[in-house]
Amino acid sequence: MEKALLNVEGMSCGHCVKAVEGSVGKLDGVERVLVDLKEKTVAVEYKNDSVTLDKIKETIEDQGYDIV
Amino acid sequence: MEKALLNVEGMSCGHCVKAVEGSVGKLDGVERVLVDLKEKTVAVEYKNDSVTLDKIKETIEDQGYDIV
């Protein structure tokens, strides 16, 4: 199991939390995902034989947010 | 046709725009609804024989925003 903490710009409300946690959480291989609005972070735990960190970042960007 | 411009706190992103425009727009008697994120306003045009301004305000509050 891998862990990553991403800094993400643009998440501002509960809808944003749902959009990010919902989309990332649906990826095969993602075990846990947790958004912290205040810290502007997304914490993920994933199996790196099923999903790449690049794929996770791309999924967040597809929801309209920027990885910094 | 009546027009109103409401000052609304807490709308911060595109999801908030959808939540407010979607819910208010579905009310019988509401002809137009337009959120301005920057100005923190919701502009509505409605038929006051079909819907009240109180009902519109209540609908916005039910989405989690405060009328100021």
- What is the residue-wise DSSP string for A4-64? EEEEEE---SHHHHHHHHHHHHTSTTEEEEEEETTTTEEEEEE-TTT--HHHHHHHHHHTT
Report the share of chain B in percent with pLDDT over 90.
Answer: 100
Sign of CA dihedral B46, B49, B54, B55: negative
Tell me the CATH architecture of domain B2-67. 2-Layer Sandwich (3.30)
Mean pLDDT of chain B: 97
Q: For residue B7, report the phi and psi dihedrals to the nearest 5 degrees.
A: -95, 125
> Are residues B19 and A16, on separate chains, in Cβ contact within 8 Å?
no
Model pTM score: 0.87
Q: What is the mean pLDDT of residues B42-67?
A: 97
The CA distance from A13 to the nearest CA of chain B, in Å, is: 7
Q: What is the DSSP letter of B66?
A: E
pLDDT digits (tens, 9 = 90+) for A20-57: 999 999 999 999 999 999 999 999 999 999 999 999 99
> Are residues A13 and B14, on separate chains, in Cβ contact within 8 Å?
no
Candidates A8, A9, A11, A13: best to mutate against B (most CBs of B within 10 A) is A13
